[in-house]
A and B are shown apart, each in its own frame.
Chain A
Amino acid sequence: MSDAPDHSPTLAALSISDRLGQAMPYILVPLLVVLGFFAIGSSSSWLTLTVSGLAMGMMIFLMASGLTLVFGLMDIINFGHGAFISVGAFVGISVLFALGDWTAATSLSLNLIAVLLAIVAAMVVTGILGWGFERVIVRPVYGQHLHQILVTVGGLIVIEQMIHVIWGPHEIFLTRPETLKGAITYWGAALEKYRLLAVVLGLIVFVAMRLVLRRTKIGLIVRAGVQNGEMVQALGYRLKLVFVGVFIAGSALAGLGGVMWGLYQEVITAGMGEEMMILVFIVVIIGGLGSVEGAFIGALLVGLTQNYIAFLAPKLALISNIGLMAVILMWRPQGMMPVVKAK
């Protein structure tokens, strides 16, 4: 009998480059902001651009988070996600129009309540719609990527056309509530109030989402389900039910994003969700499919890059997002923080 092969485990600390590689996604956003500062030169325009980039990123994150979780949990690519953005915007804006007195008032609290009510209404409607969508459209095609893509695109068309039927074929112009118009000046930079609100709201949602995912039991089940769904089911949890919940929450978040985006653009069209989906897909891909943090970082990167480039070289702005995606995919073909599947 021969001796066991020589086995001497070594406990080496991670090298600097490995650690840097792990932390890189987190460093990218501050790095981009600093780079932007030097590239732009003037601190006031830099501040304005940074705030608007962050605001845009937060709104895109709201829309992308649901999509990426749904993919991570059930391996479903929902091309119909954009429909929830449009529906959310139309419902929310209709509520705002109905509350015309409150939005026209110059009191901040009344305005905020009106916006809040609009958001709640939009989230409820898109949540219910998401539930129906999951039932009717998505459920019969679990596990078949090709059919999922086709069927959800079909769902997107139908919902978009129903918006045309209900709200008419034309785009709707709107104005923001009274106290959210205009900008405040800080350090010589004009910061639009609404963008600040969007940043705050986006941060709140991100932190809340992180807390739910990291600190609660349901979050634990969701994260475990993303990593290894079969094992979670074997332990006795009804993952299907959890998944429906995540789908509804994701749709509601898309609705929230839709309201925010509608107020940001001050015009809503039935096709807006479809247009946003392109940005959302870019964000989800560069973040790594299934990763919420990745989507957050990706969204901020997309928002900031687009705003900086639009200022520095307007001609390039159109392809800046595609360029960003190409660069990140060359660096990490799976996206920045791909979810590790234990399969």
Chain B
Amino acid sequence: MINILLSGDRPRSILLSVILLVILVALALAPFLFPGVRSLETAARICIFIVLVASYDLLLGYTGIVSFAHTMFFGLGAYGVALASIHMGRGFDALVVGSALGALAAAVLAFAIGLFSLRVRAIFFAMITLAVASAVAVLVSQMSELTGGEDGLNYLVPRELTPAFRFGEAFGIKLNGRLLAYYLVFASCLLLFLVLLRVVNSPFGRVLKAIRENDFRAEAIGFRVVAYRTMATCLSAAVAALAGSIFAIWLRYVGPDTTLSFSIMLDILLMVVIGGMGTMYGAVIGATLFVLAQNYLQTLMGSASDATSALPLIPDLLSPDRWLLWLGVLFILSVYFFPTGIVGRLRGVR
């Protein structure tokens, strides 16, 4: 049963299995184990980023393509839900239509970009996605009559998903729509993750790995490398858009900063590399660690900065605003010394 669910791709390390199990249980019971608004926000964010990072790993880790447009696809999904909710009115049908259209738009756009760049050489893809993503981000912030510009969009999701909808109490926790919304997020993220796991362990995923290892040889064996790369790009874009839709349903707000900014792209890159490229489980660990660190470590850095305020330069280096600096250093070091990430390390210890 578990084997089928995991598509035969077991964690292959006892410690890794334990960690994954802890994360799964913690996320599944988050509203009861860690009551409070902030921890629920964190848990939902972790769920969504696991899917987003896993879909990116399909590109980076499995196919060996670097894309800088992943937040663009993420944003497309989010804006899809937002626009559908505004124009179709509050309701579940709007959420479904918005998510579907967002995913479709992302896949089409990914196909167009792939057509231009993957045909020639994979390295074009990194540069072209960077250019297109920045153009889209500018467009979204400029076309304010449609997208709300820099302010973003606020909209209503179905009443069943809002805190105002109450239906009793269990284990001392008030059961309300927010709880339902969390479980919607959790369930759809789990489903998407298992689907991705299925994809990478299918014959299709095997071809992708072959392309990553040696595209010339893969072509020689008879696989059409461009077609496979483009398909992987479209699939990854569609899943990223769905993750964006879930994010939009959870937040009830979309804006360029929360969905499209380059810093989110960097976050995704870091999560993939730290967790471990080329394993879906790396996405789980990377996203969990990173989101937790983002939420709680910055507070720690603030106090460290205050504690060293008498010294020169050090408080500046430790201030919470410079958190990206340390991430960058960590990023470089992990690419050098742990190219397989945490998961690779754990599997190596075995």
Contacts and interface: CB of A to CB of B under 8 A. Distances in A.
Given A158-B332, A333-B120, 13 more contacts: A79-B126, A140-B336, A141-B336, A147-B339, A154-B329, A156-B328, A157-B327, A161-B328, A165-B317, A282-B127, A321-B131, A325-B128, A329-B117
A201 interface: no
Interface string B106-143: 00000000001101101110111011101100110010
Contact of A155 (B119, B120, B332): B332
A318 interface: yes
Interface of B: 60, 64, 66, 116-117, 119-120, 122-124, 126-128, 130-132, 134-135, 138-139, 142, 262, 266, 269, 273, 313, 316-317, 321-322, 324-325, 327-329, 331-332, 335-336, 339
5 contacts: A140-B336, A154-B331, A318-B138, A319-B135, A329-B117
A165 B316 contact: yes
B130 A334 contact: no
B116 A329 contact: yes
Given A77-B126, A158-B329, A334-B120, A147 B335 contact: yes
Contacts of A182: none
Q: Name the prevailing secondary structure of the A interface residues.
A: helix
Interface stretch (A5-13, A205-213, A273-281): A273-281
A285 B332 contact: no
Contact of B262 (A145, A150, A165, A274): A274
Nearest to B142: A318
A interface residue count range (under 10 / 10 to 19 / 20 to 34 / 35 or more): 35 or more
Contacts of B66: 145-146, 149-150
B45 to A, nearest CB: 21
A98 to B, nearest CB: 21
Interface of A: 77, 79, 137, 140-141, 145-147, 149-151, 153-158, 161-162, 164-165, 169, 274-275, 277-278, 281-282, 284-285, 289, 318-319, 321-322, 325-326, 329-330, 333-334
A278 B130 contact: yes
Tell me which of A274, A278, A321, A326 has the highest count of chain B C-beta atoms within 10 A of its own C-beta: A278
Contacts of B64: 146
B324 A157 contact: yes
Contacts of A284: 127
Contact of B126 (A149, A319, A329): A149
Contact of A281 (B127, B273, B331): B127
B222 to A, nearest CB: 23
Nearest to B321: A169
Contacts of A146: 60, 64, 66
Contact of A162 (B130, B325, B331, B336): B325
Contact of A282 (B131, B317, B328, B331): B131
A164 B322 contact: yes
